[in-house]
């Protein structure tokens, strides 16, 4: 076989191998995007001992987030829809994990600034993840909704997949529940990284 024919064969083989690697990478990313996080073990009633102050006459939505989780940007963005649709009928806290001993500046990320930019949202530091543990939450982006009596109405995520914005059953359920608009799902998969696994240096 001539030299140029060997070169053509080698080039074709390399191109085929590269295409297979790229396709495999995209498939892995697609699987990861659709893979739910750990649903945790949230209680059916709001736990006592929390520093989060609920309202006596409004539903209380609590989102737990890691300030450096890339998946949670979509969740914080989607949070604006229920906040706007339920204006005046919901109290919203976004609870941001912060490692023990880390400075206040550690969690001052663009994700936190995005949450603080939503009117009416309170951003809260969760040093050492104590609030997340108290509420039985494991994954960043996990949302819990409680009625004024402390009964859990909803548990889960408000995105369609990891890092993907857009209308989804989770945020729709929250809106229907707060507006008392008839039967609605009480759970939805949460798509986020494990808060404790992400951790982070001080």
| Mean pLDDT across the chain | 84
Encode pLDDT of 69-111 as tens digits. 988 999 999 999 999 998 789 999 999 999 999 998 999 999 9
Encode pLDDT of 21-44 as tens digits. 433 333 333 343 457 789 899 999
* Element at 170 (helix H, strand E): helix 169-178
Is CATH 2.60.40.1510 what the domain over 59-198 is classified as, yes or no? no
Encode pLDDT of 148-161 as tens digits. 999 999 999 999 98
* Element at 105 (helix H, strand E): none
Show Cβ contacts of residue 22 under 8 Å, excluding neighbours closer than 6 positions.
none
pTM above 0.75, yes or no: yes
| Residue 80 structure tokens | 């604006």
């Amino acid at each position: 076989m001539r030299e140029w024919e060997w070169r053509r064969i080698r080039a074709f083989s390399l191109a085929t191998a590269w295409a297979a690697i790229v396709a495999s990478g995209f498939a892995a990313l697609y699987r990861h995007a659709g893979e739910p996080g750990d649903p945790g073990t949230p209680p059916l009633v709001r736990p006592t001992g929390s520093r989060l102050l609920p309202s006596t006459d409004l539903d209380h939505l609590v989102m737990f987030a890691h300030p450096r989780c890339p998946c949670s940007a979509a969740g914080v963005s989607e949070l604006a829809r229920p906040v706007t649709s339920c204006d005046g009928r919901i109290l919203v806290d976004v609870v941001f994990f912060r490692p023990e001993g880390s400075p206040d500046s550690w969690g001052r990320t663009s994700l936190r600034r995005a949450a603080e930019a939503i009117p009416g949202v309170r951003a809260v530091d969760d040093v050492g993840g104590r609030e997340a543990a108290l509420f039985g939450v494991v994954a960043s982006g996990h949302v819990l909704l409680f009625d004024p009596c402390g009964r859990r109405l909803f548990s889960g995520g408000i995105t369609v997949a990891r890092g993907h914005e857009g209308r989804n059953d989770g945020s729709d359920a929250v809106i229907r529940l707060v507006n008392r608009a008839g039967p609605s799902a009480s759970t939805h998969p949460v798509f986020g990284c494990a808060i404790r696994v992400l951790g982070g240096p001080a």
